[in-house]
Structure 1
Amino acid sequence: MTATTDAPGVTDTKSLTLVLTEATMLCGGVRSLRLESADGSTLPSFTPGSHLVLDCGTTPQGMPRRNSYSMTGPELEPDHYCVSVQLDRGGRGGSRWIHDLEIGTSIRTSRPRSVFAPVLTARHHLLIAGGIGVTPILSHARAAAQWGRSFTVLYVWRGTDAAHLAELRELCGSRLHVFSSRQELWAHLGPALLKQPLGTHLYTCGPSAMIDAVEGAAKAAGWPSARIHYERFGGVGLDPGQPFTVALRGSGQEFDVPSGTSVLETLEQHGITIPNLCRQGVCGECRIPVADGSVAHRDLYLTDEEKSHGTSMMACVSRAEGSRLELNL
């Protein structure tokens, strides 16, 4: 990653320095941040469904902590960016760091990155959100409403309040359907999947179990995989994995990768620098070439086809399936 300079706003080709100008507690431990350039200049436009990678302090081991958060605000020549972050007390500490941020704090972020963009040729967009997974869905809905695209939003949450519900109601009107339980969502979704016009694309974000169920229901209803799109929460539910050895074909070096430690962290500990941003398997920055061995892919970036080739991996989250992995490094 290219280091930032002291200049305000846009600082280089890969990163920004932004200032927290406003913070609002929405509901259920969700904090919405408004981020602006220090000089008030216009920020880069972005594709609906994009995310920012924020520098969120350091881990107890002194390693940089970077988390990806979906962008919820206007995408065309914006004067600010917005992200909404749910406090995860059992997480890696990034959300706690963000919830403690004070107004006026400078934050280094990536430029907007897109891995969950709408298909502009779609005849209709069916948008399904679960809990805090509403954030990229809000971005999709905002753009669809602005450009007059056909869309429907299904939003399910637990508890008494839902993040961004009032904003979605204003944007969507009768195109928004809300559910207070997954049972209500499934009762509606089953028939809805069979009634969508030909050429509809489905987009869903939320807990992994919900995404798997939505994807399964769509495929059972005859939807082709090419029309099903989803974004999972980065870094969620990853087990520590088994230890293995990583070998660097270029230098002949070999290192042990312990359980609970990533390839990226192992290489860094031995003085080998790998470009990286999110450290959650989302941004694609730490992609490295694989020479030999089977990879247990755990990222959200590579396509299924790329994973099947087995020639690259995301060093921040993916591991070896066996006891040894050779890299073209």
Structure 2
Amino acid sequence: MLFEHVEEDLRLRVQSMSWESESVLSVCLRALDESLLPSWRPGAHIDLHLPADATSERVLIRQFSLSGAPEDRSHWRVTVLREPEGGGGSEYVHDRLRPGDILDVVGPRNNFELHDADEYLFIAGGVGITPILPMIESVERAAAPWRLMYGGRSRRTMAFVAELERHGSKVTVWPQDEHGLLDLDAFLGRPRDGVGIYCCGPEGLLAAVEQQCDSWPDRTLHLERFKPKQQAPHDPDEEQAFEVVLERSGTTLAVPSGMSVLEALENAGIEPLTSCREGICGTCETKVLAGTPDHRDSLLSDEERAEGGTMMICVGRALSEKLVLDL
């Protein structure tokens, strides 16, 4: 998998903010000198560095998908759902961020790449529509057949419905309070070759789509998660310590139970590139040269985990006594 991190550290100004639906707000960002922003492709996201509060220097780093047009490099658009039960990032955007404010931004980064296919099926839940929008425009321009099923709690909470309705019957808008849960059986149909299925939304939807696609060909399904996948808890008392070898620097470190590879590196004063620290953004993906990773991320596919060629060190450990990394 190993994503190429062609990204930049930027300082951008909030040009404008607009409501897309109830509790969903878009933010338009421009360069301070109004120069062109880095290019990006559908599925990309950026990191916004947001002040945790007004009285401390602590910073929240939050990932948001780019939902605008890749060909327009004059600005970037991100779309943010207000989540009162979240970690504070969305509330900062909604309550405190205003046009004219300046933010530190890192990106773009893409671990939800749009690949060539004969046909595309898009499934979005709630604010999960944001990375899907530029994908739809891309395949539409390429004249590839596609359909979208877009679900949400109600029409008033669903962003970009008017923007999508111009595509006519290709788009199925499915508010839960009107129709119930998405009819994935009918939308996906029978398994077949040549299809790219792209899904983004809450974990319940992603799990249902994963189950539905079990019988489809490998690498048909592509998912984007905003939160870590629910996994069985790990008991630190049952974990074994191991050594991690950094091949390029010749450094060997001991990693005790209950600690990720990243934490061990940071404790030794080594600061590899990282962002989400939850195994969902792909920033810390590292090539494995030897050893068996203990994958605990929500990003790699089952095939990629079995291959063991890379790992997300922010959450990962080792199943072998020694792990050799390309660091």
Question: Which TM-score applies when normalising by structure 1?
Answer: 0.79
Residue of structure 2 in register with 1:204 after alignment = 199
Q: How many Å apart are 1:184 and its aligned residue? A: 4.2
Residue of structure 1 in register with 2:254 after alignment = 254
Q: How many Å apart are 1:50 and its aligned residue? A: 1.4
Residue of structure 2 in register with 1:175 after alignment = 170
Counterpart code for 2:207: D
Unaligned 5+ runs, structure 1: 1-11
CA distance in 2, matches of 1:265, 1:47: 32
Residue of structure 2 in register with 1:4 after alignment = none
Counterpart code for 2:209: V
Residue of structure 1 in register with 2:26 after alignment = 32
CA distance in 1, matches of 2:244, 2:232: 25
CA distance in 2, matches of 1:169, 1:196: 27
Unaligned 5+ runs, structure 2: 1-5
Residue of structure 2 in register with 1:229 after alignment = 222
CA distance in 2, matches of 1:205, 1:13: 22
- Secondary structure of the residue aligned to 1:76 is coil
Question: Which TM-score applies when normalising by structure 2?
Answer: 0.80
Counterpart code for 1:164: F
- Secondary structure of the residue aligned to 1:116 is coil
Q: How many Å apart are 1:48 and its aligned residue? A: 1.2
Query: Identity of paired residues, percent?
Result: 31
Does the 8 Å CA contact 2:225/2:280 hold for their aligned counterparts? no
| Cα 1:84–1:13 shift into 2, 3 Å | closer
Within the candidate set 151, 155, 158, 2:150 is matched to 155
Q: How many Å apart are 1:167 and its aligned residue? A: 1.5
Residue of structure 2 in register with 1:297 after alignment = 296
Within the candidate set 112, 117, 131, 2:113 is matched to 117
Does the 8 Å CA contact 2:24/2:80 hold for their aligned counterparts? yes
- Secondary structure of the residue aligned to 2:130 is helix
Within the candidate set 44, 48, 52, 1:54 is matched to 48
Q: Over the residues paired in the alignment, what is the CA RMSD in angstroms?
A: 3.3
Within the candidate set 186, 189, 192, 1:194 is matched to 189
Aligned residues: 310
Residues 1:104 and 2:100 are matched in the alignment: yes
CA distance in 1, matches of 2:145, 2:177: 25
Q: How many Å apart are 1:79 and its aligned residue? A: 1.0
- Secondary structure of the residue aligned to 1:148 is coil
Residue of structure 1 in register with 2:282 after alignment = 284
Q: How many Å apart are 1:256 and its aligned residue? A: 4.0
C-alpha offsets along residues 206-255 of structure 1, whole Å, 9 cap, x if unaligned? 122212212322334xx212222221224364687433545344545435
Counterpart code for 2:82: L
| Cα 1:188–1:256 shift into 2, 3 Å | closer
Does the 8 Å CA contact 1:246/1:327 hold for their aligned counterparts? no
Within the candidate set 83, 88, 110, 1:88 is matched to 83
Q: How many Å apart are 1:58 and its aligned residue? A: 5.5
Residue of structure 1 in register with 2:17 after alignment = 23
C-alpha offsets along residues 173-223 of structure 1, whole Å, 9 cap, x if unaligned? 221111122994767432332379863322111122212212322334xx2
Counterpart code for 1:40: E
Counterpart code for 1:112: P
Does the 8 Å CA contact 2:244/2:261 hold for their aligned counterparts? no
Within the candidate set 114, 123, 130, 2:125 is matched to 130
- Secondary structure of the residue aligned to 1:21 is strand
